[in-house]
Amino acid sequence: MIPFLTSSAVLWFGVILLAAYARRARAVRRATLRQQWEDEERRPQEAEALLHTPQGEQESGTSVPPWNAASDFPSIGEEPPGKPRVH
């Protein structure tokens, strides 16, 4: 039994099996990392898309204006929209 287990063919077969297992484990680990990276890259894009949606269509139901909504504010010398100011 010992000569069979220590034969060159059995040892090489074991090495090949270990290499195949390591390759498979590495492929699974790389796929998991790649998926995590894609999820992390997608999150800022989704947040950016939410900032640019009209307020009536926001999923969260909040009325927070997008960061680039400076055009909603009056310029210097303009009256704000709504009730006119009484002088």
Is the Cβ–Cβ distance between 47 and 53 less than 8 Å? no
> What pLDDT is stored for residue 78 in this prediction?
67
> What pLDDT is stored for residue 31 in this prediction?
96
Distance of CA 69 to CAs 11, 40, 51, Å? 69, 26, 10
CA–CA distance, 50 with 62 (Å, rounded to integer): 11
Q: Tokens 């290499």 label which residue? A: 19
pTM of the model: 0.44
pLDDT at residue 72 greater than cutoff 90? no
CA–CA distance, 75 with 84 (Å, rounded to integer): 15
Q: Tokens 């009484």 label which residue? A: 86
pLDDT for 7-62, tens place per residue? 888 899 999 999 999 999 999 999 999 999 988 888 877 777 777 766 545 455 55
> What pLDDT is stored for residue 21 in this prediction?
97
Q: Tokens 């009325």 label which residue? A: 63
